[in-house]
Amino acid sequence: MDGSKLRAKIQSGERIYGTMTSLVRNPRWASVFGRLAFDYVIVDTEHAPTGRSEAADLAFALHAAGVCPILRVKDSEPHATVMALDAGFHGVLVPYCETPEEVRAAVWAARSRPLKGILHDRARDHGEYPSDATKEYLDGRAKDVIVMIGIESVPAMENLEKILDQGGIDVIFIGPNDLSVSLGIPDDYAHPKFIEATKYIIDTAQKRGIPAGGHFQTEALIQEWIGHGSRFVLFSGDTRAVTEYFRASLGKFRSTTVKEAKYGEI
């Protein structure tokens, strides 16, 4: 799966499934995600200390394993997006965006690479390119880049229509923890205010043909929001997946009294 195939899947109205890594450094993990048939994997560099060279190795390995590699960049600063694409990622998740202006800057960073400086600003602000050939070249390079925008606060939700008006957005990512804190109800995902806000984001994006969904950590929440129309499914993450497996499996042994065999018994 590369950016072009993931975009085609999104644009056809299909649901896409992925996960996020924050602990994984070794690119050999990519084959695991490939065998699980994830459409995409997001490598986190916002909250995780993954370095640029480590991330680049993961991008190469994930793509080779048949998974579209996406990088959650550290912030909405445009050059972070350019660096992610230069490292081999097929798309970016730009976190915690709140204004149309910062979203426009992030989208243009992804869509106009490698145009820079004054000429970049002229193209973005006035539609003036160095030549028609330059515009055609940039459009060709950008057509398969995936841009995910993080809507994770009340101000972002209030600006959502204007943010979507900027165009060039493939996916809306909802950060449940940050959004719930911004709403004044930390981690209360059953609260009516959280449900109303999340429905609004998903429905508003869906009207534009853009999938939206949250990084929900439990099967129950994922199923609930699929039922509410989410086509972007970000399933758990490496830390939680390992923790939950061992907790459930180890708990079975700890809750059972195991009679140890005496030496020599079979």
* CATH assignment at residue 23: 3.20.20.60
Whole-number Å distance between alpha carbons of 16 and 23: 23
User: How far apart are alpha carbons 139 and 223 in whole angstroms?
Assistant: 37
Please indicate, yes or no, if residue 229 is contained in any of the structural domains.
yes
Instruction: Give the tens place of pLDDT for each residue, 131-178.
Output: 999 999 999 999 999 999 999 999 999 999 999 999 999 999 999 999
Candidate from 201-210, 221-230, 231-240, 257-266 with smallest mean pLDDT: 257-266
- Is there a domain that residue 259 lies in? no
| pLDDT value of residue 260 | 47
pLDDT of residue 185: 98
262 in a domain, yes or no? no
Answer whether residue 101 shows pLDDT above 60: yes
Q: Give the domain range for residue 111.
A: 3-254
Query: Which whole-number Å values give the CA distances from 97 to 16, 36, 48, 93, in the listed order?
Result: 22, 31, 19, 10
Number of folded domains in the chain? 1
Residue 47 lies in a domain: yes
Split at pLDDT 50, 70, 90, the class of 118 is very high
Residue at 261 is within a domain: no
Please check whether residue 264 lies inside any domain of the structure.
no
Residues 197-222 have a mean pLDDT of: 95
User: Does residue 266 sit within a domain?
Assistant: no
Tell whether 265 is covered by a domain: no
DSSP string, 139-155: HHHHTT-EEEEEE-SHH
